[in-house]
Amino acid sequence: MRCTQIRFLEYLYPIFLRRRYCRLVHNSKTRATESLLLEFENNELLPLLFGDFDRHLARIEQSLCVTIASRGNSALISGDQEEINATRKVLESLYEKLGKGVEITLADVDSAIRFAREGVKETQLEGGQQQKVASMVRTPKRQILPRSKGQRRYMEALSNSELTFGLGPAGTGKTYLAVGMAVCMLTSGKIDRIVLSRPAVEAGERLGFLPGAMRDKIDPFLRPLYDALYDMMPSSLVDRRLDSGEIEIAPLAFMRGRTLSNSYVILDEAQNATSVQMKMFLTRLGENSRIVATGDLSQIDLPRGVTSGLKNAVRTLEGLDGVKTIRMTADDVVRHELVSRIVKAYDTADKSQDEHA
């Protein structure tokens, strides 16, 4: 990839090319427009880089307040120098992914924009270290990379810690990334079994009162875990491993009295486990196993007066060797960008209520 800095008026594209202009006003003064020409070596990757009908470029323009005009194997970026530099990082990062055979989506574009604004590379870890290619989570159907700073810290914890608490609002990838790490370790032979669980608060865990076979009873409560598995593995492979017991999905109540060795154990919606249930769950840890408990402490559905086991466990165990707590925020939400705004709005409303309480 070759970059050439040029003046805006020295490089004019045909009139039919798309142009979007954004007024940048800081301190009541409009910044001078500058330009940067990026040239790419592999023309075949550019349709994937720019997206259908240039939708990826449109998202970058909207988010970073720049104008991008493409022709041939080049892209002309116009705007404020700081935003131009961020746009360059975004395009270089996405182009590098495509060169490695990784497909990119609008979510990947948003992720690259987020990292560019933070001034770090997507593969950069805490302390400036570079993430090894081997640490990328590879599953049979897709490769998974962190899409925010919080997700990057979370994946680092999942890779290195025996017990990880993943806290944060909906859409931050707490469960998805944990399942991805579990699938990666299972398919690479590092563990023998994946155990996925949720506290069935909606039924008071009295599943015996529900009609049907056990799998029919628990499926509605555990559907999100199935969705993550089928997103990472072919359905035939998921079904085969479920039948063989290599993947086990069960309510939290079914963990009592067991020792889980050579396993990757994930408790989803852990904020709805009681303190007694959480202690029981955490003490299932056997040899060569890892445990992950994920949850949103702002979405506790336990009866009034019952303490969340997740909240109690984090308070009690944080700081112990082998234990890592990762707190993600609305800035780490990787669903539709409206979800991030919704989460922030609710957080603001909750804080306002607390102040007036």
pLDDT tens figures, 102-136: 888 888 888 888 888 776 555 444 444 444 433 57
The C-alpha atoms of residue 223 and residue 228 are separated, in whole angstroms, by 9
Q: Which CATH code for domain 129-356?
A: 3.40.50.300
**CATH class belonging to 2-118:** alpha beta
- Say what the pLDDT of residue 97 is: 87
Q: Are strands 143-144 and 137-138 parallel, antiparallel or unpaired?
A: antiparallel
Tokens of 197: 């669980």
Q: Which of 21-30, 44-53, 87-96 has the lowest mean pLDDT?
A: 21-30
pLDDT, one tens digit per residue, over 289-348 is: 999 999 999 999 899 899 999 999 999 999 899 999 999 998 888 766 676 678 778 777
Q: By the 8 A CB rule, do 291 and 239 touch?
A: no
pLDDT at 239 over 60: yes
Q: By the 8 A CB rule, do 225 and 179 touch?
A: yes
The C-alpha atoms of residue 216 and residue 201 are separated, in whole angstroms, by 17
Q: Are strands 323-327 and 163-167 parallel, antiparallel or unpaired?
A: parallel
Q: Sketch the domain layout of the chain as residue ranges.
A: 2-118, 129-356
- Output the CA torsion sign for 205, 209, 213, 216: negative
pTM above 0.75, yes or no: no
Give the side-chain half-sphere CA count within 13 A for 102. 19
Q: Which residue has the higher pLDDT, 132 or 74?
A: 74
Q: Which of 4-13, 147-156, 228-237 has the highest mean pLDDT?
A: 228-237
Q: By the 8 A CB rule, do 252 and 277 touch?
A: yes
